[in-house]
A and B are shown apart, each in its own frame.
Chain A
Amino acid sequence: AQSVTQPDIHITVSEGASLELRCNYSYGATPYLFWYVQSPGQGLQLLLKYFSGDTLVQGIKGFEAEFKRSQSSFNLRKPSVHWSDAAEYFCATSGAGSYQLTFGKGTKLSVIP
């Protein structure tokens, strides 16, 4: 069965600092991997996705993620955080060609001025 682990429940960073959110997955084959962001009272917005090819994936809002098969990880990074990045971030996985997602528990990001 697929599973996703986000070890950090809550992270606080200063505005302008770099950010890395951790995600580990468990899946037998090559998974499809996603990062979503959910702002308070909002729906889910896709930041980026990986399903094949270059293991460094660029997304929207200046985010990137790197797929590391050897570590079963898909960590999300941003070089300089903005106050508007404060939100809940979810890592998710699905099988190839499946739209049924398994989500991690999420990481809440707080940004301090």
Chain B
Amino acid sequence: SAVISQKPSRDICQRGTSLTIQCQVDSQVTMMFWYRQQPGQSLTLIATANQGSEATYESGFVIDKFPISRPNLTFSTLTVSNMSPEDSSIYLCSVGDRGDTEAFFGQGTRLTVV
């Protein structure tokens, strides 16, 4: 199973600023995903991070707001841009690879925008 490290684990940010969240995996993985969990809500997929190409965004999420990078098979970043209080959520990185029967999750980044 993959071990995923997310940084930061939590942050409090001012509105209008941006935060970049890092996801580091201890092995090469085919698939990486970013999810958002708003307070008291379930997890919603933001995008699939594609290595070497633009991320694939789900309906309701756009690249200008949530730019994603994936420079290699073990690392990805999610930036939450021009933040507002509505962006206060837990952001989770998830990975999967051929041969796995499940996806693995990082511990999440708890973001509070004030």
Q: Which residues of chain A have a CB within 8 Å of any CB of chain B?
A: 32, 34, 36, 41-44, 46, 49, 51, 90, 94, 99-106
Taking CB atoms, residues of chain A closer than 8 Å to B45 are: 100-102
A32/B105 in contact, CB under 8 A: no
17 contacts between A and B (CB under 8 A): A32-B101, A34-B102, A36-B105, A41-B110, A43-B92, A43-B105, A43-B106, A44-B92, A49-B102, A51-B101, A90-B43, A99-B31, A100-B48, A100-B103, A101-B103, A102-B45, A103-B42
B33 and chain A: residue at smallest CB distance: A100
Q: Which residues of chain B have a CB within 8 Å of any CB of chain A?
A: 31, 33, 41-45, 48, 92, 94-96, 100-103, 105-108, 110
Closest chain B CB from A90 CB (angstroms): 6
- Partner among A49, A94, A105 whose Cβ is within 8 Å of the Cβ of B42: A105
Taking CB atoms, residues of chain A closer than 8 Å to B44 are: 103
Closest chain A CB from B37 CB (angstroms): 9
Taking CB atoms, residues of chain A closer than 8 Å to B103 are: 94, 99-101
B92/A90 in contact, CB under 8 A: no
B42/A99 in contact, CB under 8 A: no
Taking CB atoms, residues of chain B closer than 8 Å to A100 are: 31, 33, 45, 48, 103
B92/A101 in contact, CB under 8 A: no
A106/B42 in contact, CB under 8 A: yes
B107/A90 in contact, CB under 8 A: no
B94/A101 in contact, CB under 8 A: yes
Closest chain A CB from B9 CB (angstroms): 10
A99/B43 in contact, CB under 8 A: no
Complex CA distance for A18 and B31, rounded to whole angstroms: 37
The 3 closest A-B pairs by CB, nearest first: A99-B96, A43-B107, A99-B103
Given contacts A90-B43, A105-B42, contact A99 B100 (CB under 8 A): yes
